[in-house]
Amino acid sequence: MHVEISGQGHQSRLQSASVGYGLEALAYVAGTGLIAAGVYLVMRGNFPAWWSPRLMWPLVNVTRRVSHLQGWAAIALGLSIIAIVFTSAAPEVVGGVLVVVALFFYLLAVALYLFSTWLSRRPAA
């Protein structure tokens, strides 16, 4: 005999939707924070004094140019995250375009990060 408890499947869907919205909100906050940190680095041109060297581990010689590139990398990564967050609320075609845009910004962020790290480690001329 099969007995189904009414509403149990509905409650499970609500719980998983709540988790999804929570993760989207967390990703949105993280993306916004990365953009803010990137704008700070681009405008200021150096890392905050309170940052320990462990937080800047791959960087050896932090110049103004390296800081700017790190800031642009953070901005690109933040834009990538926010574009992914908006795909859940966008129509299918727009969502597909947002995924391509997010992938572009992600690859740009990785390239800028690697280039700035290489710049900080190359020998001074």
**Model confidence band, residue 12 (pLDDT cutoffs 50, 70, 90):** low
Q: How high is the pLDDT of residue 49? A: 87
Q: How high is the pLDDT of residue 109? A: 98
Q: How high is the pLDDT of residue 6? A: 54
pLDDT at 119 over 90: yes
Show me where the domains of the chain are located.
28-121
Q: How high is the pLDDT of residue 123? A: 82
Q: pLDDT for 21-72, tens place per residue?
A: 899 999 999 999 999 999 999 999 999 888 888 888 899 999 999 999 999 9
What pTM, to 2 d.p., does this model score? 0.85
Q: How high is the pLDDT of residue 79? A: 98
Secondary structure, 3-state, the chain? CCCCCCCHHHHHHHHHHHHHHHHHHHHHHHHHHHHHHHHHHHHHCCCCCCCCHHHHCCCCCCCHHHHHHHHHHHHHHHHHHHHHHHCCCCCHHHHHHHHHHHHHHHHHHHHHHHHHHHHHHCCCC
**Model confidence band, residue 4 (pLDDT cutoffs 50, 70, 90):** low
